[in-house]
Amino acid sequence: MKFSILQFPASNCDQDAVHVLRNVLGQSARLVWHKESILGDPDAVIVPGGFSYGDYLRTGAIARFSPVIQAVKAFAEAGGLVLGICNGFQILCEAGLLPGALIRNRSLQFRCEHVFLKTLTGDSPFTNRIPDEKVIRIPVAHGEGCYFADAQTIEKLEENRQILWRYCTRDGQVAETASPNGSIGNIAGICNERRNVAGLMPHPERASETLLGSDDGRLIFESIVQWLEREAPAVAA
Amino acid sequence: MTEPSITAELVRKHNLTPEEFDQIKRILGRDPSYTELGVFSVMWSEHCSYKNTRPLLKTFPTKSRNILVGAGEENAGIIDIGDGLAVAFKIESHNHPSAVEPFQGAATGVGGIIRDIFTMGARPVCAVNSLRFGPITEEASDGGNPKSEIANNRRLLAGVVGGIAHYGNCFGIPTVAGEVYFDVCYEGNPLVNAFCLGVLRHDQIARGKASGIGNPVFYVGPATGRDGLAGAAFASQDLTDESAEQQRGAVQVGDPFMEKLVCEACLELLATGAVAGMQDMGAAGLTCSTCETAARADTGIEIELSKVPQRAPDMTPYEIMLSESQERMLVIVHKGREEEVKRIFEKWDLPWSEIGTVTDSGRMVVRNHGQVVVDVPAKQLADDAPVYHREAREPEYLKSVRAFSLDEVADLTDPCDTLRKLIAWPSIASKNWVYRQYDHMVRNGTVVCPGSDAAVIRIKHDSIPATPGRLDAGWDGGNTCKEQVPNSAEPVAVGKEKLIAITVDCNATYVYLDPYEGSKIAVAEAARNLACSGAAPLGTTDNLNFGNPHNPEIFYQIRESVRGLAEACRVFKAPVTGGNVSLYNQNPNGAIDPTPTIAMVGLIERKEHITTQWFKDEGDAIILLGHAVDESDPLLGLGGSACLKVVHSRKTGTPPSCDLEKQKELHEALLSLIYTGDIKSAHDCSEGGLAVALAESCISHQIARGAFDLTGAFVDLSSAPDVRLDALLFGEAQGRIMVSVSALNAVKVVERAKILGVAAFNVGIVGGTALKIKTKRGEWSWDLPELHRLWWNAIGDAMRQ
């Protein structure tokens, strides 16, 4: 499958995503510069982590206006798969492709550590390979990862099973102390109503090789690949 | 615009002596202009010229067959790591700025060292730091200092850590290791030493040379402002309330986003082959970068200041030349290839300007709107700073240090509370409050995260900058649809990736109590930490933090310390590839303890050799490599120990001695055991001795947020020499490593260690829910969750107060 990975001037997880997709999973991957307005006909788009344009104002606030994000919007509207990781999640929320916002961590500090995630549904292009009940271990690294939305939005997310991951303890309990940022309902990642756009704060690309201590993150990329292999021809037809 | 006339008072204000001023006049054959005076004052400051320490620095071992760029040649040293690859690394201090404005001071320290690395053509792949502050808890204050000071120390710690996190995280460099110490001697004089390591191919080494007569000189990066005016000179004087207040405006403001753009653009520029030379504008800004590049190339350089982008109106030539605005680079381009370079600047939306040319005059000529404001011989300005052989005298305090005997302090009766106290003492306690604020995993290379003896990173293929002719685009070229982005496209099998270990160490208390022996210990500990992670040393970079060298007692500390460092680096075959000297770390309350921070880089041959400090499996045998007690030491390892400090509030006693050859044998034996696959964990014994090392081996394995693998141990020390309990459990004799091996291999490992010339004792077994230690004088047990809580939360709890 072909993955386009966006590259903003201060993206810093772009190469990591390329590395995992290409060298670990054997997929095709390319970077797409933020000034571009074409994505290069990919099967899926990754909006990687980093600081886009420095993010001094508010994470993702400037990136939403970039030419490449307009292309991503069109791609998503046509049903294409888009995954935002960390800063990518923040950008997708700012761009209106995902509901809600990511605000300052409750600790007011940047947090970098491994966390446990509970996957709430296998029914999405991003989670279909993750076994039910499996608690996955993936690192986070962010200062503004506290997911926030009004009660109505949260309710809708729950109703539509759009919440894909919640922070949990080692044994799968969704406890407040398990969250590194104070997100509402321990939300770590969500998808849109149509289920083709998702975002999460943890970094699956940093947990895709056993050498780095965990390869649970591979399950997310493998889900995308499997979904594309099964579903994409059907969609195209 | 009239410039101030040059008076004796003005010369003094520039920290130049009358003799130095006379030398300037001799070089110029006339009186300097105001701008020239400023230019000389920064270039001849200690920070830039090492005028007080150069003769000592020459005694460091700086050569090995692996060294590609040696100490003092360029902005950073470079060492071969095999297969055509190399690492560039260096440590540098930002102490004074961090004392005045901790957040920006520390942030720009990180920015400066990252620039030193990519200036060499290397991609920066990890950062490390060494930090020191006054006490942040009351019980740890060495002699009861006021609460206001503790609050201020916490403010400085929070600011420095926040600044490092801000800059490093945004730039996208993992901060993978570090050390943090607290001692009253750093009150008001915190130390912030930042290290960066980068990767490149041998043929990619870039030089800071203004070569090629007629080549254009480009300025790239943000506009020059009045920030950081003469920061190098500021860093080369004592810190007083008055100087701090005056210099608050001297602290630069960092912009990590800009640094990222400059770094990417520079690496892309180098890949085109259009660059003749490159240097960052760090200390002494435009002055240093222009005269040093010309001096290195034996050329001259001529620049026009009106072409320099300026942030503030009406800046004088003096201000432009001495500004230390951040994230700026000087790039010398091969004539005729300007367009390629401009295209890359534009791609990254970077401000740039062509400000001058390389000449054959040997002179650094600066014009402002055509009028010459500086005209000096570049080489003499850069290289001919006066060199001082300062007077050294053994410090008075060493007499009382040597007179200390153990009769002055009572032995412990119950060690339970002592271990709990030591493990919660901020200098020993877990530093997770610090490193969890740093992105320590970005770039997908961190194999061993902070919290073990040394960090381990792997060098994945995309860390290596692209070479000319390899600018391809499209799928699997890793590039954009239209833009030509350099990228090393050839995938490298994961198994072939290089593994690098990094540690930074210095127990400054030892150095204070015995500058020579203490400095040897700093190097030995660094080498030991590398060995414990499975690495053999490649090289060292040192950051010499001392007080005012005009004081003969301080200069004695510097001289003896350098003697110890040089000797140890020679023995461990870890030559010094460069570093930094930070003097004048003192305020009216006194000087800091002499703190020669040692950052050491090692290579791990195979991924199977990577070793961590925590116990792995129940039933494993615990083996002590080295003797539990050094009975030849009258203080039995308690001199300068954490135990003396924490339990008795005493910072005294001759520190343990350090037999370098024996240490080297120990490290080599450990590596040999690691190579045969027998070692499951290895942890060096340092502050707090055997008991703290054992406790850390039990409690330091973090799985994830709030999830820890606590592994108990039963250790029997009853066959160790029957010495005082505090000495046995908390003495800090050098050259001891605690390892664990599968029980089946225990006998074999002990035998092999002995054959390798190292004492080895099977002292215990891994397992259970407590740490139990048995000695001739009794048996004690510690509850692991409690120990862990004390150790893990100590700094965070203090910072929340």
> Do B757 and B786 fall within a single domain?
yes
Q: How far apart are CA B578 and CA B539, in angstroms?
A: 10
Q: Residue B554 falls within a domain, yes or no?
A: yes
β-bridge pairing A111-119 and A163-168: antiparallel
Q: Quick check: B446 and A212 CB within 8 A?
A: yes
> Do B284 and B339 fall within a single domain?
yes
pLDDT at B291 over 80: yes
* Structural domain harbouring B538: 67-205+430-460+497-610
Q: Residue B730 falls within a domain, yes or no?
A: yes
Select the residue from B170, B497, B705 to test the A interface by mutation, using most A Cβ atoms within 10 A.
B705
> Do B598 and B635 fall within a single domain?
no
Select the residue from B444, B449, B464 to test the A interface by mutation, using most A Cβ atoms within 10 A.
B444
- Mean pLDDT within B227-255: 68
> Do B657 and B786 fall within a single domain?
yes
> Do B627 and B569 fall within a single domain?
no
Place of tokens 């301080």: B554
> Tell me, what's the pLDDT at B246?
61
pLDDT at B603 over 60: yes
> Do B315 and B345 fall within a single domain?
yes
Q: How far apart are CA B787 and CA B1, in angstroms?
A: 67
Of B385, B419, B441, which one is at a domain's C-terminal end?
Answer: B385
> Do B620 and B562 fall within a single domain?
no
> Tell me, what's the pLDDT at B662?
97
pLDDT at B471 over 80: no
CATH number of the domain encompassing residue A98? 3.40.50.880
B690 Cβ neighbours under 8 A, 6+ residues apart: B624, B628, B717, B728, B729, B730, B731, B736, B738
Q: How confident is the model at residue B49 (pLDDT cuts 50, 70, 90)?
A: confident
> Do B539 and B616 fall within a single domain?
no
> Tell me, what's the pLDDT at B35?
94
| Domain count along chain A | 1
Q: How far apart are CA B302 and CA B290, in angstroms?
A: 9
Q: Residue B781 falls within a domain, yes or no?
A: yes
> Tell me, what's the pLDDT at A234?
55
Q: Quick check: B435 and A33 CB within 8 A?
A: no
Q: Residue B465 falls within a domain, yes or no?
A: no
B518 Cβ neighbours under 8 A, 6+ residues apart: B507, B508, B509, B510, B511, B512, B561, B564, B594, B640, B655
Q: Residue B399 falls within a domain, yes or no?
A: no
Q: Closest to B462 (Cβ–Cβ): which among A7, A15, A206?
A: A15
Annotated catalytic, B609?
A: no
Annotated catalytic, B788?
A: no
pLDDT at B126 over 80: yes
pLDDT at B472 over 60: no
Question: In terms of DSSP H, where are the helices of B424-572?
Answer: 432-435, 508-513, 515-533, 552-571
- Mean pLDDT within B516-537: 98
Contact at 8 Å (CB) between B767 and B618? yes
pLDDT tens digit sequence for B667-716:
999 999 999 999 999 999 999 999 999 999 999 999 999 999 999 999 99
Q: How confident is the model at residue B534 (pLDDT cuts 50, 70, 90)?
A: very high
pLDDT at B575 over 90: yes
Q: Quick check: A10 and B260 CB within 8 A?
A: yes
pLDDT at B33 over 90: yes
Query: CB of B351 within 8 Å of any CB in chain A?
Result: no
Q: How confident is the model at residue B249 (pLDDT cuts 50, 70, 90)?
A: low
Q: Closest to B444 (Cβ–Cβ): which among A137, A178, A206?
A: A206
Of B610, B640, B674, which one is at a domain's C-terminal end?
Answer: B610
Q: 3-state SS string over B767-799?
A: CCCEEEEEECCEEEEEEHHHHHHHHHHHHHHHH
* Structural domain harbouring A47: 2-236
Q: How far apart are CA B398 and CA B403, in angstroms?
A: 8
CA distance A69 to chain B (A): 15
> Do B226 and B275 fall within a single domain?
yes
Of B594, B610, B626, which one is at a domain's C-terminal end?
Answer: B610
Secondary element (H or E) of residue B689? helix B689-699
Give the pLDDT of chain A (237 residues) as one tens digit per residue.
999 999 999 999 999 999 999 999 999 999 999 999 999 999 999 999 999 999 888 898 999 999 999 999 999 999 999 999 999 999 999 999 999 999 999 999 999 999 999 999 999 999 999 999 899 999 999 999 999 999 999 999 999 999 999 999 999 999 999 999 999 999 999 999 999 999 999 999 999 999 999 999 999 999 999 999 997 655 544
Q: Residue B485 falls within a domain, yes or no?
A: no
Token representation of residue B186: 């750093």
> Do B690 and B797 fall within a single domain?
yes
ipTM at complex level: 0.96
Token representation of residue B660: 């370098």
CA-based nearest residue to B638, from B626, B625, B651, B627: B651
Number of alpha carbons in the 13 Å side-chain half-sphere of residue A136? 28
Beta strand residue intervals within B369-510, DSSP E: 371-377, 446-448, 455-459, 498-505
Q: Residue B134 falls within a domain, yes or no?
A: yes
CATH number of the domain encompassing residue B298? 3.90.650.10
Residues of A in contact with B702 (CB under 8 A): 113-114
> Do B163 and B290 fall within a single domain?
no
| Domain count along chain B | 3
Residues of B in contact with A170 (CB under 8 A): 703-704, 706-707
For residue B25, the tally of other CB atoms under 10 A from its CB is 13
Contact at 8 Å (CB) between B105 and B251? yes
Residues of B in contact with A109 (CB under 8 A): 162, 165, 436-437
CA dihedral (B350, B356, B359, B362) in degrees, to 10, reads -90
Number of alpha carbons in the 13 Å side-chain half-sphere of residue B453? 31
> Do B602 and B731 fall within a single domain?
no
CATH number of the domain encompassing residue B142? 3.30.1330.10
Give the CA radius of gyration of chain B.
27
> Tell me, what's the pLDDT at B139?
65
Q: What is the DSSP string of B548-596?
A: -TTSHHHHHHHHHHHHHHHHHHHHTT--EEEEEEE---EETTEEPPPEE
